Structure 1
């Protein structure tokens, strides 16, 4: 069975070869590896071309820069595989990863398979705790209930294998207007159209934390789009029986408060932005929030944003 692996590439020349070698050398060999060079200005495009010349399983798309969602969508449109996997160009994977993910789907008749991951620094220092491996089977409601929990399903793309039939039958694509939490949105839409999700917590993916990782930034205008993603998810879940959206409301409010506080700290919070982010504090009823610190912060922020900032800054110094 053909598996298409999608790798969006943008200015990744320093890490790309290690990533591509780890994909090329998978024990599961029936692969279509789609590299999307998203307008790189370094040598990434040439590296992609070199791998394509040496291995005909590689397909290259060279396009103008449009962002990671645009790159992934371009690959999804041409993918020939029965199953779809995603890898980021600054990470790498264990040789057996896609063999294990495929076997999980076959053995459990699942729509999605998931594996654990190593979270590590560039020097290899491990940042997450690796616990004893176990396998868990979820239905869609159970998967959505735990997707935000630590050491669980998580909203990442790169530790999962998806069915192209589910994606195309339900027209699930990446929202190109959303630059953060676009992966979480994609996964929630996918899971809502799935029956069985199987998770083997054994780590096969190496997620590398770089100093310049975009996700490490505490505030950016693009990061504000995470709120749009979460609002879409909450609306989807509110229209679904047996799925509780409370955790997503907590996450939305936590993200909104974090963005507001960090924007104020970095002096990037103009009047319009402050007004809009404060307005978001009223989006949900306080009693619909279950996290006590989020609930308290929301109440304080509704009364006085500057006082919330004073409290937040004081606790930040203590931690």
Structure 2
């Protein structure tokens, strides 16, 4: 059984997929499996993924019958995961050769529920700085939620720079919300954090995040605004419920999002 399950939702990623897969094949620590979830692609993504899994036994392909969205694809991957740990990578991104080794070492040496690494935005812009954080090492629940919900830094609400415990996800039946198109990963992270206790943050930039100019994160329309508003409402609701629970158990929490 692999230690780490890497879930990669795919939708029309034919132009970027091979770089992603080759970066995973080059990992220095091979104790992982990769679950490719084709979310109804209409280009050559499925054909490329099918050919790849036939040649590499660490990789599996799950094909959804129609395009259901990234949340549903990730949820399908969670159900198929066999590893003790889980992470999520986007199909057009890639990772450094020691990406898996960093996380596997973290969970081997420390009793953790969540580990975080840094990332690099691609393509690099002139004078762009690698996102950093002043938080290094172990931190408490309030601090990690603060970092997840910040608008900048090396943590934020992404899932691809974080590794989670599979048993915690399944114990609390955590999943991604399929009814919103933005910030679904931030909601998932906050949901996970309120059920977790041991957090570890380091900022080596091990993940390459490809930003498209026409991506959803750069699009400002009515539907996007609706998703952002709904996501922020759900996040606030989770945090307030957890704060109330902590207060009732005489375990004070102090969330400061300034």
TM-score, normalization: structure 2? 0.89
3-state SS of the aligned residue for 1:13? coil
- CA deviations 1:205-240 (Å, max 9, x no partner) are 001112222211122414522211211111111122
* CA distance in structure 1 between the aligned counterparts of 2:24 and 2:196, rounded to whole angstroms: 27
Determine if the alignment matches structure 1 residue 30 to structure 2 residue 40: no
Counterpart for residue 135 of structure 1: 136
Within-5 A mapping of 1:1-319 = 1-63=2-64, 64-121=66-123, 127-129=128-130, 135-149=136-150, 150-241=152-243, 242-243=252-253, 247=257
Assess, with a 3 A threshold, how the Cα gap between structure 1 residues 86 and 189 changes in structure 2: closer, same or farther: same
Instruction: Note the C-alpha offset of 1:126.
Output: 7.1
Larger Rg: 1
Instruction: Note the C-alpha offset of 1:147.
Output: 2.1
- Contact 2:69–2:178 at 8 Å: present in 1 too? yes
Assess, with a 3 A threshold, how the Cα gap between structure 1 residues 222 and 129 changes in structure 2: closer, same or farther: closer
- Contact 1:120–1:207 at 8 Å: present in 2 too? yes
* CA distance in structure 1 between the aligned counterparts of 2:56 and 2:34, rounded to whole angstroms: 10
* CA distance in structure 2 between the aligned counterparts of 1:70 and 1:228, rounded to whole angstroms: 18
- Contact 1:91–1:207 at 8 Å: present in 2 too? yes
Query: Aligned-residue CA RMSD in angstroms?
Result: 2.1
Residues paired across the two proteins, number:
247
Q: Which sections of structure 2, spanning at least 5 residues, go unmatched?
A: 244-251
- Contact 1:134–1:202 at 8 Å: present in 2 too? no
3-state SS of the aligned residue for 1:5? strand
Instruction: Note the C-alpha offset of 1:184.
Output: 0.2
* CA distance in structure 2 between the aligned counterparts of 1:98 and 1:134, rounded to whole angstroms: 21
* CA distance in structure 2 between the aligned counterparts of 1:233 and 1:206, rounded to whole angstroms: 26
Q: Which sections of structure 1, spanning at least 5 residues, go unmatched?
A: 248-289, 291-319
* CA distance in structure 2 between the aligned counterparts of 1:73 and 1:33, rounded to whole angstroms: 14
- Contact 1:119–1:126 at 8 Å: present in 2 too? no
- CA deviations 1:89-129 (Å, max 9, x no partner) are 111000101110121122221101100000121x7867333
3-state SS of the aligned residue for 1:239? helix
* CA distance in structure 2 between the aligned counterparts of 1:33 and 1:223, rounded to whole angstroms: 33
- CA deviations 1:271-308 (Å, max 9, x no partner) are xxxxxxxxxxxxxxxxxxx7xxxxxxxxxxxxxxxxxx
* CA distance in structure 2 between the aligned counterparts of 1:120 and 1:165, rounded to whole angstroms: 33
* CA distance in structure 1 between the aligned counterparts of 2:3 and 2:44, rounded to whole angstroms: 29
- Contact 1:48–1:60 at 8 Å: present in 2 too? yes
Assess, with a 3 A threshold, how the Cα gap between structure 1 residues 111 and 97 changes in structure 2: closer, same or farther: same
TM-score, normalization: structure 1? 0.73
- Contact 2:131–2:154 at 8 Å: present in 1 too? no
Counterpart for residue 302 of structure 1: none
3-state SS of the aligned residue for 2:149? coil
- Contact 1:6–1:87 at 8 Å: present in 2 too? yes
